[in-house]
Structures are given as structure tokens and as C-alpha cells.
Chain A
Amino acid sequence: MPAFDKRVSDFEKADTQVLGISTDSPFSHENWAKSVGIQNYPLLSDVHRSVAKDYGVYWPDWNANNRATFIVDRTGKVRFVERYGRGELPEPDKILAEVAKLG
């Protein structure tokens, strides 16, 4: 997501790593990242859909995952979950504010 890519330094200041996950291959990710200008955080390939299922975001209709954001704290605990409907996108400012609450 280019909107997050532009803000990676703000997340780093909050000692926070951003990771993008979809069910696409690394080769698809590479082309997409180049096309839309994502270069500051990793895009990961959940090709077996195992992570989507573990996180409860698997979307069987498309054999893909739904759009959702999770914030995991320093101890590995989920501290924030936001799931999105059609046309909804995560907002970097809102997610940064949630990260800031963790201290």
C-alpha cells in the first residue's frame, strides 16, 4: 500500500515494523511493488493461505484473504484488529495513533 510506504519512517520512529501480506506470489509482489512504488516495507506471500486462516481473514470466494490490519505488540500479543469492507482501506494516521497507544 503506497499510503503506508510513504509513512514507514514514522512507524520506525515508533519502533514498529510494517509488513504487507497477500496470497500472491513473490513474483507478483515484485511487479506490483515496482508499479505502485512500494519499497520501504516487505510484501509477504501467503501462498498456502495458512496465515490467512490462522488470523481469521481467509476469503473462500476468492481463495485469498480479506483486507484487515492487526497490530502485534513487542511480546507477540494482538493489540488491535480492524477489518475492512468493500472499498474501505486502512488509514496510516489511524494505525500510527493506535501504535502510539502501546508506548
Chain B
Amino acid sequence: MTENKTLNVGDQAPDFTLRGIGLKEVSLHDYRGKNVVLLFYPLDWTPG
């Protein structure tokens, strides 16, 4: 995880578990069976 890999179409999406607001844990695999849109954005308070 120290290297910056490249992820491309067709690759398996790496699973993750992260905390959100209220310290609630959310994992990618929670949504298996649904499509998931991951919106990476640089920092809070940036446009968008």
C-alpha cells in the first residue's frame, strides 16, 4: 500500500472499510450486489 498503483477498467475493486460521519464504518463489500459510484474528491471545502 506504499506504492501508488493504477486501477483500470476490468480490475477487481480493492475492498476497504472506512469511517464516515458519526464514526460509522462503511465497507465496499457492504454493497456487493449493487453498483457503487466512488467519488474521490481532494479535500472538503473544494468545489463540487
Contact = CB atoms under 8 A, between A and B. Distances in A.
B47 to A, nearest CB: 6
Contact of B40 (A30, A69, A73, A95): A69
A3 B31 CA distance: 22
Given A33-B21, A42-B24, A52-B40, A99 B1 contact: no
Interface in A61-96: 62, 64-81, 87, 89-90, 95
Contacts of A30: 21-22
A46 to B, nearest CB: 6
Contact of A90 (B3, B10, B39): B39
Interface residues of A, number: 64
A14 B45 contact: no
Contacts of A95: 37
B39 A4 contact: yes
Given A42-B26, A89-B47, 4 more contacts: A16-B36, A19-B37, A70-B7, A76-B32
Interface of B: 1-16, 18-24, 26, 28-29, 31-45, 47-48
